[in-house]
Amino acid sequence: MRAYERLINYTKFETGSDDTSTSHPSTPTQLVLGNALVKEMTDLGIKDASMDEYGYVFGTLEANIDNWKGIVIGFIAHMDVVHEVPFSDIKTRIVKDYDGSDIVLNAENNVVLSSKATACLNDYKGMDLLVTDGTTLLGADDKAGIAEIMTFLENLSLHPEIKHGTIKIGFTPDEEIGQGSDFFDVKKFGADFAYTIDGAAFGEIEYENFNATAADVYIQGVSTHTGDAKDVLKNALLIGMEFNSMLPEQERPEHTENYEGFYHLDTMQGMVDNAKLHYILRDHDLTKLEARKEMMKEIGAKINSKYGENTIRLEMKDTYYNMLEQIKPHWHLIDTAKEAIRELGTEPISNPVRGGTDGSRLSFMGLPCPNLGTGSHNHHGKTEFACLQAMDKCVELMIKIVQKYAVK
């Protein structure tokens, strides 16, 4: 079975995660997919395939080299998809021999996969693309990664002549809500190093990501009858708007790229007497992230000086860090992947991740874990697509990586 066929099967599982849930995993549907993956792994000969109480699926493909004592490599992907975009009743179709033109996904709703808006489409001329009917996401983030790992396992089980060491497999829940590593048992997983299969283009290898902070701005206002409001009323909503206006306008996500960090007002809620602004702060440079936090504090102090002490209360929490420092001592992970990508006829791509990955947190938990592409794009949207041939290449890449570590 090819990887794209598995992806189509996995899209039938409705695995949107839920950041308002207090259960782990956040949605029971992820357990349904987890159980299916355990069965599929067992059918492929993974004798210890299992799912724990938190919805993590683990399994081991034993070495087929006598007296193996080498490096144990793992491959990881996540089962959940974002819940903000419709993720149920996904209808897929294959665009054969893509010609470079726009692809109308849904004429009624004017949903078009535009070659102008999605520049990477030009790389896939003459290839086959898996798309949806434009009413839902595809779920290739990260079911493409799962499909490729499972197809990788199938290839190794069918071809015992491919020599490899011990390989660990992990499928995680709740990555899209930032909880994918919360209950990941690194010791139980048992790998020395791993790769998350959770990127975009084949040939990507990512080892730099944002440092991240969550910031909550609580605003205490004073409400009174508007007829008696002079010198008494303090409108928390307007104070919140004033706070936001004091942040640099050009340092928002919509104005930044590459290594440029940002302040992002994610949610705003409240009434006249109290309000709350929730921000996410991002920067690849930890020193610059600290400067962003200081600016938030300085603005809060200015607001309090103007409107009275305790008008603004600021709470900030770091949520993840740049994995680069954890990867540097183990650069063989990058060199090995790049060498394998080149042998498959592609020049490796290493761009900074403008977000976080399970691999980032796992790297700080003692499992150095860069990220590889899946051959899919436009994640978290209705124009999401995957290239069938690129997914095949991703499977070949994993095979090459384990072959290289078999002789290290």
As a whole number of angstroms, the distance between CA 373 and CA 196 comes to 9
Give the closest residue to 351 by CA, choosing from 253, 258, 254: 258
Per annotation, catalytic residue among 40, 154, 175, 176: 175
Residue 347 burial (CB < 10 Å; 0-12/13-18/19+)? exposed
Let me know how long the chain is.
Answer: 408
> Is 176 marked active-site?
no
Residue 233: which residues within 8 A CB-CB, separation 6 or more?
A: 221, 222, 223, 224, 226, 272
Task: Report yes or no: 202 and 375 within 8 Å, Cβ to Cβ.
Answer: yes
Task: Tell me the CA distances in angstroms from 87 to 103, 109, 141, 235, 272, one per residue in order.
Answer: 20, 17, 12, 39, 37
Give the closest residue to 121 by CA, choosing from 396, 386, 393: 386
Task: Report yes or no: 193 and 362 within 8 Å, Cβ to Cβ.
Answer: no
Q: At what angle do helices 3-10 and 388-406 cross, to 10 degrees?
A: 110
Per annotation, catalytic residue among 40, 80, 206, 283: 80
Task: Report yes or no: 165 and 71 within 8 Å, Cβ to Cβ.
Answer: yes
Single-letter amino acid code for the residue at 196: T
Query: Helix or strand or coil: residue 245?
Result: helix
As a whole number of angstroms, the distance between CA 14 and CA 33 comes to 9
As a whole number of angstroms, the distance between CA 318 and CA 214 comes to 6
As a whole number of angstroms, the distance between CA 338 and CA 322 comes to 20
> Is 97 marked active-site?
no
Which sequence positions are flagged as catalytic? 80, 175
